[in-house]
């Protein structure tokens, strides 16, 4: 892969939690392919020590506390990105949320408040990102978000996040169509089950992993580094003719019934 292009790129990664998070896999892959000008966000002071320790393994990463709550919070984040970089070439949106009752309970028991908060943080925040990204992506770029197979199939214990991810993937298609005129490409990356901090909130997550290993053609799960490598490709100019897709990196698990 031509890493010279990546050495000139600048971007934002939203959603670092620790060194096992998907966002960190993307950060590490970008860093290893020559991209150094990256701003990354963490959710809270509680997470900071884990994120800082992980990033220190790579180099001097600009870390910003960011907990999406409304339009003002994301506007403040993008004002900072503009102040630091002027313009950027990519955004990785790795942010999702569902409260325990909405995630663990039946869909029919999900409250309006639970659904609204989940779709606001997990999906609408991507729309907000794209709104502000247009202002600081004059040369175009790539915007990536993270999804899961539960958008298309009923996955045990995935709860309300299935419908939320389905909405996210459709949103990606519409955003890709709208932003194409600005040469901004939008993708949903769909990893298989990976043992991240976020995944630990799903009941019987070990069963999901076991099922993926047993039923995927490659008989294994993927790593955060493999997700990161796909992200590098989607940000690199080598993927310049692509936009709007949901792209699976799950050892072929999505193929199997």
Q: What is the pLDDT of residues 155-177, one digit of tens each?
A: 888 889 999 999 999 999 999 99
Read off the pLDDT band of 2 (50, 70, 90): low
Q: Are 196 and 221 in contact (CB under 8 A)?
A: no
Which residues are tagged catalytic?
148, 158
In a domain, 256, yes or no: no
Residue 257 lies in a domain: no
- Map tokens 């993008």 to a residue: 78
Structural domain contains residue 37: yes
Q: What is the pLDDT of residue 55?
A: 96
Query: Is 45 within the bounds of a domain?
Result: yes
Token pair for 149? 């197979």
Residue 196 lies in a domain: yes
Q: Which domain holds residue 220?
A: 4-250
Residue 255 lies in a domain: no
Task: Read off the DSSP letter of residue 252.
Answer: T
Query: pLDDT grade, residue 201 (50/70/90)?
Result: low
Q: Three-state SS for 81?
A: helix
Confidence of residue 206 (pLDDT cuts 50, 70, 90): confident
- The answer to whether residue 90 is domain-embedded is yes
Percent of the chain with pLDDT over 90: 79
- pLDDT average, residue stretch 27-56: 95
Res. 93: pLDDT tops 90? yes
pTM of the model: 0.94
Q: DSSP readout, 100-144?
A: HHHHHS-GGG--HHHHHHHHIIIIIHHHHHHHHHGGG-TT-EEEE
**Strand pairing partners for 190?**
248
Q: In Å, what is the CA distance from 237 to each residue of 1, 3, 222, 231?
A: 10, 10, 24, 12
Helix ranges (DSSP H) in the chain: 4-7, 22-32, 45-56, 71-85, 100-104, 112-119, 125-133, 161-179, 205-215, 224-235
Residues 6+ apart with CB under 8 A from 164: 96, 98, 118, 119, 122, 123
Average of per-residue pLDDT values in the chain: 92
C-alpha to C-alpha distance for 69 and 15, rounded to whole angstroms: 14
Given a cut of 60, whether residue 132 has pLDDT beyond it is yes
Q: Would you state the pLDDT for residue 102? A: 82
The Cα 188–Cα 196 span in angstroms is: 18
Mean pLDDT computed over 145-162? 92
pLDDT of residue 209: 84
- Pick the closest to residue 158 from 110, 93, 111, 92 (CA basis): 110
Q: Are 156 and 207 in contact (CB under 8 A)?
A: yes
Instruction: Copy the structure tokens of residue 11.
Output: 């971007």
The 10s digit of each residue's pLDDT in 227-241 is: 999 999 999 999 999
Q: Look at the chain and report how many structural domains it folds into.
A: 1
For residue 72, the domain's CATH number is 3.40.50.720
Kindly state whether residue 123 falls inside one of the protein's structural domains.
Answer: yes
């Amino acid at each position: 892969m031509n890493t010279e292009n990546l050495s000139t790129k600048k971007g934002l990664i939203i959603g670092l939690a620790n060194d096992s998070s998907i966002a960190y896999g993307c950060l590490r892959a970008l860093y290893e392919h020559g991209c150094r000008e990256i701003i990354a966000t963490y959710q809270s002071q509680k997470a900071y020590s884990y994120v800082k320790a992980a990033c220190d393994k790579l180099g001097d990463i600009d870390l910003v506390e960011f907990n999406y709550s409304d339009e003002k919070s994301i506007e403040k984040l993008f004002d900072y990105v503009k102040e630091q970089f002027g313009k950027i070439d990519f955004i990785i949106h790795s942010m999702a949320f569902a409260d325990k009752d909405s995630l663990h309970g039946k869909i029919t028991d999900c409250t309006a408040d639970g659904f609204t908060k989940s779709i606001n943080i997990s999906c609408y925040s991507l729309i907000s990102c794209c709104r502000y990204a247009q202002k600081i992506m004059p040369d175009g770029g790539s915007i990536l978000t993270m999804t899961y197979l539960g958008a298309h199939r009923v996955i045990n214990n995935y709860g309300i996040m299935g419908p939320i991810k389905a909405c996210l993937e459709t949103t990606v298609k519409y955003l890709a169509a709208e932003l194409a005129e600005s040469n901004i490409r939008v993708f949903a990356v769909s990893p298989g089950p990976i043992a991240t901090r976020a995944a630990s909130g799903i009941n019987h997550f070990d069963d999901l992993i076991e099922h993926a290993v047993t039923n995927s053609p490659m008989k294994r799960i993927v790593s955060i580094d493999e997700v990161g490598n796909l992200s590098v490709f989607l940000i690199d100019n080598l993927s310049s003719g692509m936009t709007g897709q949901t792209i699976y990196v799950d050892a072929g698990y999505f193929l199997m019934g």
